[in-house]
Chains A and B, each alone.
Chain A
Amino acid sequence: MTLQRITDHAGEWLRGAGPDSEIVISSRVRLARNLAGYPFVGLASVRQREEVLQRSREEVMNGQLGRDLLWIDIETAQELDRQLLVERHLISRQHAQPDATCPRGVAIGTDETFAIMINEEDHLRIQVLRSGMQLREAFDHADRIDDALERRLDFSYSSRFGYLTACPTNVGTGIRVSVMLHLPALKMTGQIDKVKRAARDMHLAVRGLFGEGSEALGDLYQISNQTTIGRSEREILEDFEQSVVPKIIAYEQQARQALLRERVTRLDDKIWRAWAILTHARMLRSEESMALLSHLRMGVNLGRIDAIDLRCVNELLLLCQPAHLQHINGATMSAHERHQARAELVRRRLGAR
């Protein structure tokens, strides 16, 4: 598998399928692990980092996790490639930072259903992605990967604190469970801050599209657990699956129904304006395209527009991002060129001239 093949296809998690996929774009489970006998990445010497990388890479790439894995050395990768991996949520922004002295990498599984970052904040970060609401499936897969790796890797663990991590916010299970939600109606009706506050009261983190400190472009929000110790993986997962996410889905659905009932003309106006601009614009900025695609996506979900399907909108949300655009066009582009290329891509995908 090559990086080019990745660009040509949307990952499994963007299929637009899976339970509750109208609102839940994707589910993700991440496990943080560190090799015993080494300092954490921040304090490890270059040589120790190299050893950690080599030993982990060997176990990850020896075929036990699947045959078609792609390995990328991050510290030597082109900036555009690193950015592409961030846009696809295969590595974090932190992992993509240019730092030639820290040997690090990522192994990407078949169909991008999982990615294992090595030498990010922790030695290993096992992440599994699924489309729609499939947290349990994502966890089971992550758990299997962890089982396979611990056969020969000795993970740092204490009976009191559990799996030891560089930052105590991840200690214990080392698990981060998260969903990416599309919440345009809550945004339109001004209720999104209420949801954010409620989520924080439940000790959940609410973040934008690309995690910490990023904006909620396209009305996309990531919600994740903050508590990682004192409760088992299953308890954390069940809480999320049975209580947190269904509640937010219900709020968003209520807000959508209220819009249909009370402000249907305004709603349709937003959706069709989005369609009109997206099918005719000659230049599109990234933020503008995300905002318009968000309205279009809601229009598709509510059956107000049937010219396109959900998968098409989901893919555009991804392909409109800067590194993807440049990969598709095979060249580094100025902002001006990107705006033009973005408008062209969108028109083509939406069947306009």
Chain B
Amino acid sequence: MKHRKCDRCDRPATNHSVEIVNGQKIEKHLCDTHAAEEGLAAGVAPNTFNDLLSNIVKPAAERSEASDLACEDCGLSYQEFRKHSLLGCPGCYEAFESQLGALVERAHEGGTHHLGKVPRRARAGEQRQQQVLRMRTRLTEAITAEDYELAARLRDDIKRVEDQLS
């Protein structure tokens, strides 16, 4: 197999694109580095958390009043968090909850709430809450699949567990 070289250097081209601009066909063959520069290699560019932050969260955060938001516990501002991608203390999760909620959802394939291990201290109540969360997801799926029998059963189960919780 013969490899095509990158249009801009001698490395093998691993990203290929064809665009039609003003009726002109423009082909691009680029190595990972140059493709990343051109924003072509969606997959191969190192998708670090910083990229995610600047590409996705930046516009939203700049528009909102998040710019003068700060954590009361440790004093970290939202701006500083954006610069280093590191939070200052557990309290930051509360202080920036709405911003972080959106960001976490995008960085984690739509994950918004923790499902999984619960520290021993918090166990009983937490596990039931997670159970309800799972059942709700299944309920939505059942309704989408028009499985109303299952949906009805899940609704009853959710109500029962929620009664226990309250």
Task: Tell me whether chain B's interface is mostly helix, strand or loop, or mixed.
Answer: loop
Contacts of A233 in B (CB 8 A): 116-117
When the two chains form their complex, are residues A232 and B116 in contact, meaning their CB atoms are under 8 A apart?
Answer: yes
When the two chains form their complex, are residues B49 and A169 in contact, meaning their CB atoms are under 8 A apart?
Answer: yes
A157-B119, A172-B108 given; A190·B1 CB < 8 A: yes
CB B86 to nearest CB in A, in angstroms, measures: 5
Contacts of B88 in A (CB 8 A): 39-40, 42-43
When the two chains form their complex, are residues B89 and A40 in contact, meaning their CB atoms are under 8 A apart?
Answer: yes
CB B68 to nearest CB in A, in angstroms, measures: 19
When the two chains form their complex, are residues A230 and B86 in contact, meaning their CB atoms are under 8 A apart?
Answer: no
Q: When the two chains form the complex, which single residue of A36, A38, A43, A155 contacts B76, counting CB atoms closer than 8 Å? A: A43
CB of B21 within 8 Å of the partner chain: no
Contacts of B1 in A (CB 8 A): 189-190
CB B135 to nearest CB in A, in angstroms, measures: 14
Give A203-238 interface residues, CB cut-off 8 Å to B.
203, 212-213, 226-235
Of A13-21, A193-201, A265-273, A321-329, the stretch lying at the interface with chain B is A193-201
Of B58-66, B99-107, B138-146, B147-155, the stretch lying at the interface with chain A is B99-107
1/0 per residue, CB under 8 A from A, across B19-49: the answer is: 0000000000000100000000001101111
Cα distance, A181 to B101, chains bound together (Å): 34
Give A114-152 interface residues, CB cut-off 8 Å to B.
121, 143, 146-147, 150-151
CB of B79 within 8 Å of the partner chain: no
Cα distance, A17 to B105, chains bound together (Å): 39
Contacts of B107 in A (CB 8 A): 168-169, 226-227
Contacts of B114 in A (CB 8 A): 158-163, 171-173, 229-230
A167-B49, A201-B43, A228-B108 given; A172·B116 CB < 8 A: yes
Contacts of B111 in A (CB 8 A): 172, 227-231
Most interface-central of A36, A161, A231, A235 (chain B CB within 10 A):
A161
Q: Which residue of A lies closest to B110 (CB)?
A: A230
When the two chains form their complex, are residues B43 and A40 in contact, meaning their CB atoms are under 8 A apart?
Answer: no
Most interface-central of B88, B93, B115, B117 (chain A CB within 10 A):
B117
Instruction: Sort chain B's interface into a size bin.
Output: 35 or more
Cα distance, A190 to B117, chains bound together (Å): 41
CB A329 to nearest CB in B, in angstroms, measures: 36
When the two chains form their complex, are residues B113 and A121 in contact, meaning their CB atoms are under 8 A apart?
Answer: no
Question: Interface size (A, Cβ < 8 Å)?
Answer: 53
Q: When the two chains form the complex, which single residue of B32, B44, B85, B115 contacts A167, counting CB atoms closer than 8 Å? A: B85
1/0 per residue, CB under 8 A from A, across B54-85: the answer is: 00000000000000000001101000000011
Task: Tell me whether chain A's interface is mostly helix, strand or loop, or mixed.
Answer: loop
Cα distance, A160 to B94, chains bound together (Å): 10
Contacts of A235 in B (CB 8 A): 115
A226-B107, A231-B116 given; A193·B49 CB < 8 A: no
When the two chains form their complex, are residues A42 and B86 in contact, meaning their CB atoms are under 8 A apart?
Answer: yes
Contacts of A193 in B (CB 8 A): 14, 32, 44
When the two chains form their complex, are residues B113 and A230 in contact, meaning their CB atoms are under 8 A apart?
Answer: yes
CB of B156 within 8 Å of the partner chain: no
Cα distance, A351 to B110, chains bound together (Å): 55
Contacts of A34 in B (CB 8 A): 90
Further pairs besides A162-B114, A231-B115: 20, Cβ < 8 Å: A38-B89, A42-B84, A42-B88, A150-B120, A157-B118, A158-B90, A158-B94, A166-B86, A172-B108, A172-B115, A172-B116, A173-B117, A200-B43, A228-B108, A228-B111, A230-B108, A230-B113, A230-B114, A232-B115, A233-B117
B: which residues have CB within 8 A of A? Answer: 1, 3, 12, 14, 32, 43-44, 46-49, 73-74, 76, 84-90, 93-94, 97, 100, 103-104, 107-122, 126, 129
A: which residues have CB within 8 A of B? Answer: 34, 36, 38-40, 42-43, 121, 143, 146-147, 150-151, 154-164, 166-169, 171-173, 175, 189-190, 193, 196-198, 200-201, 203, 212-213, 226-235
What are 9 A-to-B residue pairs whose CB atoms are below 8 Å? A40-B87, A155-B119, A163-B114, A163-B119, A167-B49, A168-B107, A171-B104, A200-B47, A233-B116
Q: Which 6 A-B pairs have the closest CB atoms?
A: A230-B111, A162-B114, A197-B43, A232-B116, A43-B88, A39-B89
